[in-house]
Amino acid sequence: MKFYFPDSQDLVSPTYNFVQDEYSPFRVRQRDDRYAHEVLARAPYHGMLVSKSIVDGSVKGAGKYTSAQRARLYRLGVEKFFRLPDTIESLGDNGAFNYADEQVPPVSVSETLDFYEGCGFTSGVSVDHIIFGYERDHDFETVDPAWAERRLLTLRLAEEFIGQISDQGLRVEPVGAAQGWSPASYADSVRQLQDMGYRRIALGGMVPLKTVDIMDCLAAIDEVRGPETELHLLGVTRVGSMNAFAGYGVTSFDSTSAFRQAFMDDRDNFHTENDSFVALRVPQVDGNPTLRRGILSGQISQKDAIQLERACLKALREFDRSEASLQGALALLADYEVLCQSKKSYGAEYERTLSAAPWTACECTLCRELGIEIAIFRGTERNKRRGFHNLSVLAAKMERLPVRPTQRSNSG
């Protein structure tokens, strides 16, 4: 099972000073900063997925790339831009979520192929239009006409996509996008894509589905799937079900969930193989909106806030070196939580995190180098490194899954 990590220009600076919380004055971001596959001893993914909307922008506005970064990607190609080793593949797509509200995709097949070929992607997904809805028993006659039209449009664009690749002799591997609203509709999409010549198919629109619904769809697809056809799950991470998914022909998936949980989740910030922990929230005084407002209004002393912030960090570092007590560190965290006017108290969770000290048992490069710093919820450099750590945990979980042979479809 291969895991692809969707790019959103997530890098970290190897020269960042965690004690002073500052960057080197000589830092050049694209030249000096590093991707997850460069800072971890082992790459935590088999491939990177890059969306055209992230690079070129979409109807929702500019993408994540500056004009200079975009030009550099097109000039160097995806392998040199991301400094990819030979073991990491590249997969391009359109980022259909960014134009989901439009009646039709605002990008043509030709524009998409220009992006894939211009950047030198290993594989590319055909242009699709997401169906936001799932009704297991809706047949093709009773379904919402808008859903039906999106599915048919996705299929028409897929036919044009693989046709242009063949006619122009392009190098990119075609990956057909399948959309649907039910097991039967997904299965019919896969059947049609196979008839067009696709042997690798990406299943879209499944992110909000329950695992049981995904399994129902995969079972229906398996009735028509050829034995050589491989499936990719777009945006779906269900590690506990991956072995079952593999039994129905799923060979790859992509997701940012493990990475984003490091700084977006309320509690599951630091992952281990069998558990997860809350990160220790010590926001920067000059970066916390509540503290800034309190300081500007005169309700909070900036000097006192900075002193308490520094005292928290000092106590956590000393605790990590066994030079300070658990209760002392917890008391300072609680005081800073009150000062920040936090809407939630994490006292019990902090005690659990500090008592377990999961970073001390982790073998990943980042945990060994940073110690407790990686468990502190504070600024992009720590938070993204924790996200990279989570990716390494996901990779380890995937490696430990039992190997299950792909079921042969009835059509094989």
pLDDT tens over the chain, length 412 residues: 999 999 999 999 999 999 999 999 999 888 899 999 999 999 999 999 999 999 998 777 778 899 999 999 999 999 999 999 999 999 999 999 889 889 999 999 999 999 999 999 999 999 999 998 999 887 788 899 999 999 999 999 999 999 999 999 999 999 999 999 999 999 999 999 999 999 999 999 999 999 999 999 999 999 999 999 999 999 998 988 999 999 999 999 999 999 999 999 999 999 999 999 999 999 999 888 989 999 999 999 999 999 999 999 999 999 999 999 999 999 999 999 999 988 899 999 999 999 999 999 999 999 999 999 999 999 999 999 999 999 999 999 998 877 555 555 454 4
Q: Let me know if 254 is a catalytic residue.
A: yes
Same domain (yes/no): 288, 323: yes
Distances (CA, A) of 75 to 58, 111, 119: 21, 17, 8
- 378 domain-assigned: yes
Q: What is the 3-state secondary structure (H, E, C) of 156-195?
A: HHHHHHHHHHHHHCCCCEEEEEECCCCHHHHHHHHHHHHH
| Residues in a beta bridge with 4 | 47, 254
Give, rounded to a whole angstrom, the gap between the first and last alpha carbons of the chain. 21
98 lies in the same domain as 183: yes
Kindly state whether residues 96 and 235 are assigned to the same domain: yes
Asked if residue 348 and residue 202 are part of one domain, the reply reads no
Q: Is residue 195 annotated as a catalytic residue, yes or no?
A: no
Asked whether residue 352 is domain-assigned, the answer is yes
Do the domain assignments include residue 243? Answer: yes
Distance CA 287, CA 298 (A): 17
Would you say residue 8 lies in a domain? no
Q: Quick one: 292 and 386 in the same domain?
A: yes
Cβ proximity of 391 and 44 under 8 Å: yes
**DSSP character at residue 209:** S
Tokens 């790459």 belong to: 43
The count of other CB atoms within 10 Å of the CB of residue 228 is 11
Asked if 340 and 288 touch (Cβ cutoff 8 Å), the reply is yes
Amino acid 138: pLDDT? 77
SS3 178: strand
248 found inside a domain: yes
Q: Give yes or no: residues 246 and 326 share one domain.
A: no
Write the single-letter amino acid at 121. Answer: F
d(CA 81, CA 191): 36
Q: Which residue has the tokens 């991301």?
A: 82
Q: Which of 340, 367, 345, 341 is nearest to 356 (CA)?
A: 367
Domain termination residue (choose one: 255, 275, 292): 255
Residue 357 near residue 320 (C-beta atoms within 8 A)? yes
Tokens representing residue 265 in the block: 């989740």
Domain range for 193? 46-255
- Reading phi first (left if > 0) and then psi (alpha if -120 to 50, else beta), residue 232 is in beta
Residue 282 and residue 312 in contact, taking contact as beta carbons nearer than 8 Å: yes
Q: How far apart (Å, rounded) are the C-alpha atoms in residues 216 and 244?
A: 12
In this structure, is the dihedral angle defined by the CA atoms of residues 8, 13, 16 and 22, taken in order, positive or negative?
negative
CA 408, CA 307: separation in Å to the nearest integer?
Answer: 65
CATH number for the domain that contains residue 109: 3.20.20.105
| Residue that terminates a domain, selected from 255, 284, 311 | 255
Q: Is the dihedral of CA 231, 237, 243, 245 positive or negative?
A: negative
Query: What's the domain count of the chain?
Result: 2
Determine which one of 33, 93, 128, 188 is catalytic: 93
